Amino acid sequence: MIASHLLSLSIWLPIAGAVIVLASASESSAGMTRVLSLIVALCGFLITVPLYTGFDASQSAMQFVEMAPWIPQYNINYFLGVDGISVLFILLNSFITVLVVLAGWKVIKQKVAQYMAAFLVMSGLMNGIFCALDAALFYVFFEASLIPMYIIIGVWGGPNRVYAAFKFFLYTLAGSLLMLIALMYLFLQSGGSFNILEWHTLPLPMSAQTLLFLAFLAAFAVKVPMWPVHTWLPDAHVEAPTGGSAVLAAIMLKLGAYGFLRFSLPIAPDASHALSGFMITLSLIAVIYIGFVALVQTDMKKLIAYSSISHMGFVILGFFIFNQIGYEGALVQMISHGFVSAAMFLCVGVMYDRMHSREIAAYGGVVNTMPKFASFFLLFAMANCGLPATSGFVGEFMVVLGAIKYNFWVGFAAATTLILGAAYTLWMYKRVAFGAVANKHVAELTDIDNREFLVLGLLALCVLGMGLYPFPFTDVMHASVDHLLKHVAISKL
Residues lying near another protein in the complex (CB under 8 A) are found at: 70-74, 114, 136, 139-141, 143-144, 146-147, 150-151, 154-155, 161-162, 165-166, 169-170, 173-174, 177-178, 180-181, 184-185, 187-188
Please report the DSSP string for 266-287 in residue order: HHSHHHHHHTHHHHHHHHHHHH
Count of Cβ atoms closer than 10 Å to residue 144 Cβ: 16
Closer CB to another protein, 11 or 309, in the complex: 11
The nearest distance, CB 108 to another protein, in angstroms, is 15
Q: Which residue, 87 or 165, is less far from another protein as judged by CB? A: 165
CB of 32 to another protein, least distance (A): 17
In angstroms, the CA 334 to CA 315 distance is: 7
In the bound state with another protein, the residue whose beta carbon lies nearer, of 165 and 374, is: 165
Q: Which long-range contacts (CB under 8 A, 24 or more apart) does 28-36 make?
A: 30/109, 30/112, 30/113, 33/112, 33/113, 33/116, 34/101, 34/105, 34/112, 34/116
- C-alpha separations of 129 from 93, 143, 362 in Å: 11, 10, 40
Residues comprising the chain, all counted: 493
Contact 49, 92 (CB under 8 A): no
In the complex with another protein, the residue whose CB is nearer, 181 or 461, is 181
Q: Of 178 and 426, which CB lies nearer to another protein in the complex structure?
A: 178
Question: What is the spatial distance between Cα 181 and Cα 174, in angstroms, rounded to a whole number?
Answer: 11
| Nearest approach, Cβ of residue 136 and another protein (Å) | 8
- Beta carbon of residue 231, minimum distance to another protein (angstroms, whole number): 17
String of DSSP letters for 107-144: T--SSHHHHHHHHHHHHHHHHHHHHB-BHHHHHHHHHH
Q: Which is nearer to another protein, 173 or 274 (CB)?
A: 173
Asked whether the beta carbons of 471 and 57 are under 8 A apart, the reply is no
Nearer to another protein, 223 or 431 (CB): 223
CB of 129 to another protein, least distance (A): 12
What is the distance between the alpha carbons of residues 117 and 123, in angstroms, rounded to a whole number?
A: 10
Tell me how far, at minimum, the Cβ of 74 lies from another protein, in Å.
Answer: 7
Strands 63-71 and 76-82 come out as antiparallel
Question: What letter represents residue 32's amino acid?
Answer: M
Closest approach, Cβ 143 to another protein, in A, equals 5
